[in-house]
Structure 1
Amino acid sequence: MNTSRFLIGSALLVAASLAHSGAVTLTLADHGHVRAYHPYTQFQINPELGRAWISVSFQLDPAWDESPMHFERVAVEGLRFDTGQSAIVMAFGDRDIICANVSERRFLGWTGHRIAPTGMCRLETVTQRKPVDNGFFISNRDVSRTLMHVEG
């Protein structure tokens, strides 16, 4: 996994901690020069370890149904699963923001979790066209990244 992804998120998290209020957008992952078709982002948890992360997936080519998919887990500094509150919590300055409520589900001996986002930590994967200079000419390329908008 690329450490620059963690550095981007960590640097922005520090800026968010200093703000203490208002909305802040964190760049969680920079997917490089790809176009993210049909992006899907969601919170995931490991309740035994008290951990939470963001799962990102998107299709690389919409031209055919069996196009390769890109899957990635993104660790976010300050994001955790709080067993006492049964919630995914983001440390935001000196307080905690509840990003999602978690309930346990049981079916035929199988136990799973239903994660219901609260809207306080909105996830989004965006693709933008950016100019790229390769030393010979400038061309426009798609750049995709995953963002989290935290309401403080």
Structure 2
Amino acid sequence: ASEQGHLNILKLLVEHGADINQNDGSTALRSACMQGHLDCVKWLLENSADASLVNEDTGSTPLIVAVLNSSEDMVALLLKHGNNGLNTAVTGHDGLSALHAAAARRNPAILGMLLHHGANIHATSKRGWTALDHAVIRQSIG
């Protein structure tokens, strides 16, 4: 339901016992982030969805997905609910954090939000690259 943006169905499922944090490869929150359904993301966060759960296949979090989709509103919403265990330092299997993704997408607004919420500018990927390295590479091949 969250993947398709069906908020009313999502609410009914949870009211009837569906686990809001079920992680069978992806969570409802990550699916809503991936498809850009801000209303579902907001409702899920307000109803105790765990934004720190990681996708088993990619290692990505809802925050990384929102950054990759360049969704400033969604990133802001996830960071606002960061007291639920959101960690800007979490990386995917490739070692890329949300900050790396924002730099690669050349999105200064999201970069600023992440830095304001404590993202580590010195964090390196598995290749040893920082977010600045990714920004420079994207700019040069752009």
Q: Give your verdict on TM over 0.5.
A: no
Structure number with the higher strand fraction is 1
What is the TM-score of this pair, normalised by structure 2?
0.24
Pair member with larger Rg: 1
Structure number with the higher helix fraction is 2
Higher relative contact order (CA 8 A, sep 6+): 1
What is the TM-score of this pair, normalised by structure 1?
0.23
